[in-house]
Structure 1
Amino acid sequence: MAGPTAVGKGTVSADVRERYPQVWLSVSATTRDPRPGEVDGVHYLFVGREEFDRMVAAGEMLEWAVVHGRNSYGTPRRAVEEKLAAGVPALLEIDLQGARQVKESMPDARFVFLAPPSWEELERRLVGRGTEGPEERERRLATARVELAAAPEFDHVVVNDEVRRATDELVHVMGLDVQAAPTPL
């Protein structure tokens, strides 16, 4: 699953984690600092640039990219391959560059683009999250324009207009029975 900044990839992934425990969510490595509330090893593997570069050089990344011209993000290869070999449904929350790389090495995977209901809503979410200053917001919005234009490259587009509905559609696209999902209390 890929999509532009602030579209809700993390929120949809968290909903998948909560409501569909049979889906394994890959934990990406990143060189960026944790945001408030993020836990190392749960939300991301927070690593230094040297360690990230070592992982890339050693071929340990399924995909990786420098995002928004600043920080590196990547998916450690081994865990993904182990889960898929065991028949466990796996979800990767990645960016456009990463999706293109995975498509090269795993062309049979399903590629889902998470889209905002509108450009105005995407801007509102980015500003509302309050984690970036004006300069960083503009950089992210410029990247988002490029990413939105790439939506036709994906197998499916899921509009994140309501988290629960978007999550159910994503899980359905993964080939899982949405009706069998446990309902939280």
Structure 2
Amino acid sequence: MTSGEVQVRELRSRTWYRWIAATLVAVVVVAGWVAATQPENRVWVAVGLPLLGLWFTYLGWRSASFDPTTGVVATIRCRVRREIQLVPGTEVALVPNGAGGLLLALRPPDGRRRTYLLVLALSDYVEASQPPELLTALADTLVRFCGEPAEDVAKRLREQAAHVARGGTAATSPLAPMVTRGALGAAKAGGAGAVGGHLD
């Protein structure tokens, strides 16, 4: 990350980390029991356990940032960096991921894929908003490089920033009504990982 970039932090809590740790321990215990009592299934344990470990690594090993001076937005997933340049005509929207997360979705005029930044998380495992200074800087950056079409989203981000700066909670924030839970949110066992999912 260069010195001009603003890091967009993952919205996680101690409960999220405890859920991950408990899930890993449970999986290892069950896998050990299966390997010890069901020799015919040992091959599946040998294959499945590393794959599950890779999935958890993929789920947690990511970061995002934006540069207010250049308009470059970067996402990093397992050390693979992907950048987009904010320009006039960039599609800018706030979209729920259906699992308790609200994402800022960005797609340049010539791009096929969206880039996502997590703005708000409301789940059984975490209730958190990005800090006000980050939300304000993000709003300013969107307007500076994307122009008038980004004004509505920027306004919503600034309202969120003002609410958080006054000590307001994530659950009562202006953006909270946009969050949806859906089927993924209903499946509590997957809620912790799902909130930050759908980012790529």
TM-score under structure 2 length normalisation: 0.27
Larger radius of gyration: 2
**Higher RCO structure (Cα 8 Å, ≥6 apart):** 1
Structure number with the higher strand fraction is 2
TM-score under structure 1 length normalisation: 0.29
